[in-house]
């Protein structure tokens, strides 16, 4: 199945990375240039770029931007400074494993090139960042192709948060499955959770679905149970920011609720993610660091205050879905079913 998505959210242009600033969507399509590691950190922290794979790609470019002007002449001093920049970039969003995965890969690449001149090492860093970007494009296409057989004819799919080209290098993860189902004429429509508090579903996924001319309806998060009760959802498919060795999955807050609801209504619940999202260093979801975000994301919207002054707020960006609630995990290497620990170990050799 040969088709191209309607936009590119991340591009490398000579000496800078250009992204769609997602904080302006859907009102305006604003492209911004990131010229330094500091600007990349800010873009990731403030969710100008978001989605685990997109964060990893942007962070990889950010490491190159951070080291390209370094004057260090010895490998040890260069490596030390590169490691400091990598730790700094990783601090922007600690839950999404793709960021740390990409930065660790770059640091390993730097170490492997330690006998080479510093200027050549810098070029190798950029080449590796571009490779990570291109690999993500290919693997996201494969995720969509691998997930297609799980989609019934005339499917009504519910999704949560944003998993499309805005969240990846291209195609998306769960969105790639939806996109491939649409082009295979297997799709009836998509239900789009608005995804509070930052509305990634209504602001971003709805925008992408319109771009791709895919039929959908937007719903408030709390309508999901009623939709399932009415038989209007055939399956749930969404992404992941980190998957542990046993298959427990961290994703946007609200994901666990959908998994419980899907289980109660006997509806398949699928996670779509690249293999780099699987963190074999963590045994279970209880070990995942969950990012806590600012209270003002909950107490107001835009310039409008929606809660009393000085109210206490609990605002985790993610929750963890236990592995027993996940029907299958769709990766570029194929569809993985329980027992996840055993099958992940086979996958990673």
Of residues 55 and 301, which shows the higher confidence score? 55
Q: Is the pLDDT of residue 1 over 80?
A: no
pLDDT of residue 275: 87
Question: Cis peptide before 197, with omega less than 30 degrees from 0?
Answer: yes
d(Cα 338, Cα 240) in Å, to the nearest integer? 17
Apex CA 90: angle with CA 127 and CA 103, to 5°?
Answer: 25
Overall average pLDDT of the 97-101 stretch: 90
Residue 214 corresponds to which tokens in the numbers above? Answer: 């895919």
pLDDT > 90: percent of the chain: 91
pLDDT of residue 165: 94
CA nearest neighbour of 64 among 14, 3, 6, 116: 14
CA nearest neighbour of 162 among 324, 54, 57: 54
Question: Cis peptide before 339, with omega less than 30 degrees from 0?
Answer: yes
DSSP single-letter state for residue 316: B
Overall average pLDDT of the 305-318 stretch: 96
d(Cα 168, Cα 163) in Å, to the nearest integer? 7
**What is the bridge-based pairing of β-strands 187-193 and 155-159?**
parallel
CA nearest neighbour of 237 among 276, 273, 212: 273
Q: Is the dihedral of CA 56, 137, 190, 153 positive or negative?
A: negative
Residue 66 backbone dihedrals phi, psi, to 5 degrees = -75, -30
The DSSP annotation for 187-232 comes to EEEEEEE--TTTTHIIIIIHHHHHHHT--EEEE-GGGHHHHHHTT-
pLDDT of residue 170: 92
Indicate the SS3 state at residue 242: strand
pLDDT of residue 5: 80
Radius of gyration of the chain (CA): 20
Q: Is the pLDDT of residue 96 over 80?
A: no
Q: What is the pTM of this model?
A: 0.89
CA nearest neighbour of 197 among 316, 95, 304, 52: 316
33 in catalytic set: no
For helices 118-147 and 75-90, what crossing angle results, to 10°? Answer: 40
Catalytic residue among 136, 193, 241, 248: 241
Residue 74 corresponds to which tokens in the numbers above? Answer: 């010895």
Chain centroid offset of residue 323 CA:
19
- Do the beta carbons of residue 100 and residue 78 sit within 8 Å? no
Q: Which domains does the chain have, with CATH numbers?
A: 10-142 (1.20.120.420), 146-347 (3.40.50.10470)
Apex CA 267: angle with CA 192 and CA 206, to 5°?
Answer: 10
Overall average pLDDT of the 207-213 stretch: 96
Q: Using one digit for the tens of pLDDT, what is the confidence trace for 121-161?
A: 999 999 999 999 999 999 999 999 999 999 999 999 999 99
Indicate the pLDDT class of residue 2, thresholds 50, 70 and 90. confident
First to last CA, the chain: 30
b/e 108-128 (16+ beta carbons within 10 angstroms → b) = ebbeebeeeebeebbebbbeb
């Amino acid at each position: 199945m040969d088709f191209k998505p309607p936009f590119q959210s991340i591009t490398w242009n000579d000496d800078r990375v250009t992204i769609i600033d997602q904080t302006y969507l859907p009102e305006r399509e604003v492209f911004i240039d990131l010229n330094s590691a500091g600007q990349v950190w800010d873009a990731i922290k403030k969710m100008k770029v978001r989605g685990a794979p997109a964060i990893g790609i942007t962070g990889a470019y950010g490491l190159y931007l951070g080291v390209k002007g370094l004057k260090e002449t010895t490998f040890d001093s260069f490596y030390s400074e590169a490691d400091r920049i990598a730790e700094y970039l990783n601090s922007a969003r600690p839950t999404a494993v793709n960021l740390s995965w990409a930065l660790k890969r770059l640091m390993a690449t730097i170490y492997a090139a330690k006998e080479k001149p510093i200027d050549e090492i810098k070029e190798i860093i950029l080449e590796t960042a571009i490779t990570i970007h291109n690999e993500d494009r290919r693997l996201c296409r494969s995720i969509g192709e691998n997930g297609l057989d799980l989609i019934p004819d005339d499917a009504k799919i519910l999704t949560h948060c944003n998993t499309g080209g805005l969240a990846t290098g291209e195609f998306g993860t769960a969105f790639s499955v939806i996109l491939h189902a649409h082009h295979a004429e297997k799709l009836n429509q998509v239900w789009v959770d608005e995804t509070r508090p930052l509305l990634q579903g209504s602001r971003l996924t709805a925008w992408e679905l319109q771009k791709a001319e895919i039929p959908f309806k937007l719903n408030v998060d709390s309508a999901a149970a009623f939709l399932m009760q009415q038989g209007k959802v055939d399956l749930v498919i969404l992404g992941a920011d980190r998957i542990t060795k046993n298959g427990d999955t961290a994703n946007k807050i609200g994901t666990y609720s959908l998994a419980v609801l899907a289980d109660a209504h006997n509806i398949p619940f699928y996670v779509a993610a690249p293999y780099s999202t699987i963190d074999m260093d963590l045994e279970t979801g209880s070990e995942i660091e969950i990012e806590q975000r600012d209270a003002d994301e909950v107490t107001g919207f835009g310039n409008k205050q929606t809660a009393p002054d000085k109210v206490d707020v609990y605002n985790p960006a993610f929750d963890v879905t236990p592995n027993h609630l996940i029907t299958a995990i769709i990766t570029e290497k194929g569809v993985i079913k329980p027992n996840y620990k055993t099958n992940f170990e086979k996958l990673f050799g």
